[in-house]
Structures are given as structure tokens and as C-alpha cells.
Structure 1
């Protein structure tokens, strides 16, 4: 604040000095001898008029600058808040993964750049037993642990979403069949390695079944989901805690 006041006085003083010089030049140009009243008038008038007028003008400019800075800061804060709200609306509150709608939108956007990739559906095994035997709060903790395991097993380029109660989806962009199968197996193994303790002194084994499908250029996301879902049920029926893959370019029956 003190620096801004000093700045205003300096600028007003410079403007007043220029006004005095200009006034003296005008008087001298008129051939009037610069002495007595003819000397003080061109000095006093700028001091009385130019200095306060300049100081007020510079104060107004500075005040407008402060208001503009505050307005820009408010706009930036509002944009940041809107971006945070928009991102929050895209996320599942429990796991932090993309929600169902945001996941499908992200997959479609990625597939517009490249159609190479694979879709995985990851479903927690016997999850109803956890909720029934230990309660939904423990079930939520188990889901969080499974989500963390999926995060550890997938790379930064993977798109991960929670698309149902205990069902997750992973889109592996630009991958081939071998890489997709290895990624799915990493997820399965990472979940199986969780030492989940629903109660003191007791460890509960968590596992997931995974169904996957490779992508092809003309496939819609709904077709890929049906393919992966069929493989997921094959994995469930085969005993759970395993990976099944669909590689044929056809619709699930």
C-alpha cells in the first residue's frame, strides 16, 4: 500500500514538473519577462491544478488495475473450481476410477485415435458373501483394495473405470493379444496377493474373474462389452479367479 502511494506521488510529481516546464515555455514564447508574478503563476497553477488532477488520475488507474487483477483471479479460481467439479462428476467417489459414462466416453475418444487395443471386464468373486457375512462397510473396504490392486497392475496409458457395483473395466490402448493377456494376468495376481483382513486376526482371500476381448475397427463399444462379458462368465463358470479372452471378430451370442 505504501509503495503504491509513493508511486502515485512520483508519477503526479513528474506530470506536474512537465506542466510547469510547459507553462514556463509558453510564457517565454509570448515574450513576457519571467519575473515576479509572471514567474510564480506558471509554477503555482500547475502545482494547484496539475498535481492533484494527476494524482487522482493515477490513483484511479491503479485502483482499476487492482480491480482487474482481482477479477482475473476470481475468474481463474472459478474456472479451476468448475474444472474440479467436472472432474469430480466423472469419477467414482469410492475408488477414484472413472464412472461408467466417463469410462465409455474416454474409450470412444481413444478409439478415434487408434482402434488397436483390448477391453477387460474385471469382476470380484463371491462378493455377495463378503457383504452378507461382514457387512457393506467391509465390502466397501474390499472394493477399495481391489481397485488399488488394479491401479498397481495397469499402466498410465490404461483407461480404468468402475462400471457396476463390484465390476470394473480396463481399456488397454494400442496393445496386442499377448500384452493384453499379460496385463489381465497381472491384475488377477495382484488382487489375489491382497492380504485383506475383514476382522482382527482373520485374512480373507480376494479374487477376481476377468473377461477380455481384442478390439477391431468397426466394433461398437456395446459389441466389445458383450464379447468381454461372455468371456467373464466363462471365467466364472470355469471356477473363478482366472482370465478368459475372446479374439474372434464377431458379436457375442
Structure 2
């Protein structure tokens, strides 16, 4: 209901209440109220209640606006606390927090994804191009994996993912899907040049008996093996 209707409703209730009270009093023997006094009562009631109702409705609408604004600010703060501002993926802390919640489940695998020659993007095309590459890679990762998988930006050009409930072949296929999705990216630099992107990926099975960091460390070692082995490939930890 809009503010004008709220004001009209409040004034109408006030006037109706005045009429009912005056009618009840008029029904009492010896207290008959002439029609002209009814009119005076209605006019007085509406003239007094209208500004009061306007004030109350405006205050109510302002309180509603402030509440919605506050809820929006709280939601923004919660997002800033959990998501990377550039890519929209989970930030490092949020990724580890959520990975800890599923770490005890069997059949999880970790990916460590590092963009190849990322420094060259910044040096050759500027930091805006580097940011565009990071955003594009973040989108490619989120689209290549399932909605219930975890993925986030660890910092710089490094990303991580936790693949839930899969075997070695499935994990390898998903990692390859991430790699090919990144390889297919074509990012337009501010100069107008088209930038091609590849990534090296390390893959490691989760070990619930050890911390998340230990599983990611093995994926990190595998990722560096992919780097030294020619980049743009997936290597599985031994």
C-alpha cells in the first residue's frame, strides 16, 4: 500500500471512529447530537488527524527506507568479508573456512590453478588487462565446475578449487575442463589487442587426516610440476 493510501486509510479510520462515538452518544437519552454537530465533529477529526497521519506515515516510510538501506549495507559487508572483490569468487579465508566444513567427507579433490605468464600481461598490456584476465579466469572456473564445488581466489593469479565427491578419473576430467575453459578465453586488453590465457593446474586428493593446507600443498607441488613441464597442463600429485 502506497503512502497516500495509508494516509487516507488512517484519516478514514479516525473519522469513522468519531462518527461511531458521536452516534453512540446521540443514542443516549438526553444526549441527542444534531446533524450539524456531526459535521463539525467530522471536520475537526479530519483536520486534526490528517497532519498527524501524514507525519506518522512519512516517518514509517523513512524508517522502512533506512531499514532496507541498513540490510543492504550488511549484505554488502558480508559479501566483502567472503568474496573477492575483483573476481566474485570466494576469497582465501572464506575458501578455507568452507573447505574445512567438507574436508572430512571422502572423495574430495583439490585443484591449485595458476595463470601462466601472468606478470607478462601486466608488463605488456597494463594492470587493467591483468584485472580483466583475472575476472575472465574467475568466470571460466565457476562455469566449468559444479555449483556445489568450492572455488576461490587465493591471491594474485592463483586460484583454488575443492571438487566434492568424485573419483580420480572424474577429478582429472573436471580439472581438464577448467584448463580448456581457461585456454579458450580471449580477453580484450585496453589497447584493443586480444590476449590469450592458459593456466597450469595441480590436482591432489583430499586427506581428511591432515589439514586442508596439506592437501593444497600437494596440489601446489603438482602445479609447479605442470609449470616446469611446459605449462598449460594438469598434473596430479603422486
| TM-score of the superposed pair, with normalisation by structure 2 | 0.79
Q: For 1:95, which of 79, 84, 87 is the aligned residue?
A: 87
Taking the TM superposition and a 5 Å limit, the aligned residue runs for 1:140-179 are: 140-179=131-170
* Change in CA separation of 1:239 and 1:89 when aligned onto 2, cut-off 3 Å: same
* Change in CA separation of 1:2 and 1:205 when aligned onto 2, cut-off 3 Å: closer
* Change in CA separation of 1:141 and 1:74 when aligned onto 2, cut-off 3 Å: closer
SS at match of 2:185: coil
Taking the TM superposition and a 5 Å limit, the aligned residue runs for 1:75-86 are: 75-86=67-78
The one-character-per-residue Cα deviations of 1:160-193 (angstroms, maximum 9, x if unpaired) are 2111200011111222222211111001111111
- Cα distance between partner residues in 2 of 1:234 and 1:65: 67
- Contact persistence 2:83–2:90 (CA under 8 A): yes
- Cα distance between partner residues in 1 of 2:217 and 2:154: 14
List alignment gaps of at least 5 residues for structure 1: 28-38, 248-253
Max Rg structure: 1
- Contact persistence 2:206–2:212 (CA under 8 A): no
- Contact persistence 1:235–1:241 (CA under 8 A): yes
| TM-score of the superposed pair, with normalisation by structure 1 | 0.75
> Following TM superposition, by how much is the alpha carbon of 1:58 offset from its aligned partner in structure 2, in angstroms?
11
Taking the TM superposition and a 5 Å limit, the aligned residue runs for 1:79-228 are: 79-111=71-103, 114-198=105-189, 203-228=194-219
What RMSD in Å do the two structures reach over aligned CA positions?
3.1
> Following TM superposition, by how much is the alpha carbon of 1:134 offset from its aligned partner in structure 2, in angstroms?
2.4
List alignment gaps of at least 5 residues for structure 2: 1-6
* Change in CA separation of 1:66 and 1:129 when aligned onto 2, cut-off 3 Å: closer
Q: Equivalent residue for 1:13?
A: 19
- Cα distance between partner residues in 1 of 2:103 and 2:170: 18
- Cα distance between partner residues in 1 of 2:216 and 2:82: 20
